[in-house]
A = this chain, B = another copy of it.
Amino acid sequence: MRKTIFIFGALVVALLILFKLSAYSLVSGNTSIEFIISGIAIIFFIIGVIINKRVLHKHKSITKEIDHEKIKSIGLSKREYEVLCEIALGLSNKEIAKKLFVSESTIKTHVSNVLVKLDAKRRTQAIQIAKEFQIIPL
């Protein structure tokens, strides 16, 4: 938020300087009106692009970033969340067990807990629900 205020402040100052500069240039007759207009047009075009990018980027990040608060509110433990991520990658229980250096029965326990906490009947449904909750990357 502080950044945004700073940028807009700088923008206003730049605008005022532009006004003064262009008025001076016109009076002194050094520069043509077309040149000034073109410069201003380019500058504001760029500003428009940048600001739009910022706004859209925030939107994107909302849909992409992981909602850690949601994970907590659901009550998923660190290990359960890890298992959930591996499920979403398409791994079997056996493969997850190997990857995390634990037994398959341990993974089964974690998976069961994840299903209960996400209110899912299957691991595929858990993936879908986790995506809706934005707790796993797309």
Contact = CB atoms under 8 A, between A and B. Distances in A.
A48 B37 contact: no
Interface residues of A, number: 42
A125 B90 CA distance: 4
Interface stretch (A51-59, A67-75, A102-110): A51-59
Interface string A42-66: 1111111101110010000000000
A131 B51 CA distance: 31
Contacts of A23: 33-34
14 contacts: A19-B37, A22-B33, A36-B37, A40-B40, A41-B43, A41-B44, A44-B48, A48-B48, A49-B49, A56-B56, A89-B128, A90-B124, A92-B121, A92-B122
